[in-house]
Amino acid sequence: MLQAGLPFGSRWHMEVRTEMAEDKSSETLPVLKLERPLSVLNFEHIRQIDDALAELGPFGEVRIIKQRGKLRFIQKVESMSIMEGSEK
C-alpha cells in the first residue's frame, strides 16, 4: 500500500493500492481510496489531468478551469528556458 505525498498531518490522505481485477485476468487495476467522495472531479477528469501533466516538458503548468460550477477546460502551459543547459 502506498500513501500519496500530501503534507504530514494533512486532513486528507489518499491510499493507492493494486489489486487483481475481479475478472481473474492477469491485469491489475489501481484502486484509489479517499476519506471522502470527490465533489467535482471524476475518474475521467483525473485521467485527463494526469495525461496533461505527463505530456509537459520540464517546465510547465496544468490549469483547471471551472465555469458555471463545472469543470470546463484543462489548459497546458509549457515554458522553455532561454538559458543553455538549465533544465533544473
Three-state DSSP string of the chain: CEECCCCCCCCCCEEEEEEECCCCCCCEEEEEEECCCCCCCCHHHHHHHHHHHHHCCCCEEEEEEEECCEEEEEEEEECCCCCCCCCC
% of the chain at pLDDT higher than 90: 33
Q: Cα angle at 34 between 33 and 36, to 5 degrees?
A: 145
- Per-residue pLDDT tens over the stretch 27-60: 677 777 888 988 888 889 999 999 999 999 889 9
The residue length of the chain stands at 88
Average pLDDT over residues 11-25: 48
